[in-house]
């Protein structure tokens, strides 16, 4: 009565093995990236440490920039590969600002764990939704919409961030326009900004042209 069951174990395990690799697919960062992510690390080499990331307990260094981001996406935490979620920690010193940016491939949810912020986004009907948030408040920025976060208080801000993709992407408006070789005349023609303003910000953000 017992032995049959023990046989059952091996029977069913063998039939399950091929499926198990798809419970998760810890990224092999050395393999070429496909349209949908990385190839899977061999199951035999996966340990619990692949599923644990340490380091969100420490604030990023805001001494120089007033803002810092600690990313927990596939490159930092390969176990997220294919699982449709990623994280970050954002720290803002007093006066710190995350300028307008978008995440082309993810909705962002923030939890204010310390301090006070003003945060907002602009919809594609050009409505601006912004509000001042306190510790314990949550706000979401729907996928692909430009948004910003700034410290609105007199104390440092700590935010826990979640994304609806392991690969949210990031596009910062000022860097798109002013940190590269986008010719000033083209920027002017396609943004209606004045050339002197463009030149000033290109100098500021290390752009040329």
* Contacting a second copy within 76-135 (CB under 8 A): 77, 79-85, 87, 97-100, 102, 104-105, 107, 109, 111-113, 118, 120-131, 133-135
x/- site string to a second copy, residues 41 to 60, per CB under 8 A?
--x---xxx-xxxxxxxx--
**157 interacts with a second copy by CB under 8 A:** no
> Phi and psi dihedrals of 36, rounded to 5?
-110, 5
Binding residue for a second copy (CB under 8 A) from 30, 35, 45, 154? 35
> Strand 67-72's sheet: what is its strand order?
67-72, 86-92, 157-163, 108-114
The answer to whether the CB of 108 falls within 8 A of the CB of 149 is no
User: Which CA distances in Å does 153 have to 44, 59, 112, 150?
Assistant: 49, 17, 12, 9
CB of 104 to a second copy, least distance (A): 3
**195 interacts with a second copy by CB under 8 A:** no
**171 interacts with a second copy by CB under 8 A:** yes
| Count of residues of this chain found to bind a second copy when the rule CB under 8 A is applied | 137
CA distance 23 to 19: 7
Binding residue for a second copy (CB under 8 A) from 40, 94, 116, 153? 40
DSSP state for residue 179 in the 8-state scheme:
S
CB of 110 to a second copy, least distance (A): 10
Binding residue for a second copy (CB under 8 A) from 30, 64, 92, 184? 64
CB of 184 to a second copy, least distance (A): 12
The answer to whether the CB of 152 falls within 8 A of the CB of 117 is yes
Q: Which two tokens stand for residue 95?
A: 């006066």
Binding residue for a second copy (CB under 8 A) from 115, 177, 184, 202? 177
DSSP state for residue 1 in the 8-state scheme:
-
Binding residue for a second copy (CB under 8 A) from 116, 153, 156, 175? 175
Half-sphere exposure in the Cβ direction for 192 (13 Å, CA)? 0
């Amino acid at each position: 009565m017992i032995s049959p069951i023990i046989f059952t174990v091996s029977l069913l395990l063998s039939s399950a093995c091929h499926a198990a690799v798809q419970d998760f697919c810890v990224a092999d960062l050395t393999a070429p990236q496909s349209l949908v992510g990385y190839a899977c690390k061999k199951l035999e080499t996966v340990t619990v440490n692949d599923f644990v990331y340490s380091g969100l307990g420490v604030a990023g260094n805001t001494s120089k920039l007033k803002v810092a981001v600690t990313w927990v996406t596939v490159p930092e935490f390969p176990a997220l590969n294919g699982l449709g979620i990623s994280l970050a920690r954002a720290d803002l010193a007093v006066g710190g600002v995350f300028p307008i940016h978008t995440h082309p491939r993810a909705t962002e949810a923030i939890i204010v764990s310390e301090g006070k912020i003003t945060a907002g986004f602009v919809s594609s009907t050009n409505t601006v939704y912004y509000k001042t948030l306190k510790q314990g408040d949550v706000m979401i920025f729907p996928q692909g919409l430009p948004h910003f976060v700034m410290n609105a208080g007199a104390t440092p801000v700590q935010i826990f961030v979640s994304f609806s993709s392991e690969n949210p992407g990031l596009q910062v408006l000022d860097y798109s326009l002013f940190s590269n070789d986008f010719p000033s005349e083209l920027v002017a023609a396609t943004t209606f900004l004045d050339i002197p303003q463009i030149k000033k910000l290109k100098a500021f953000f290390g752009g040329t042209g």
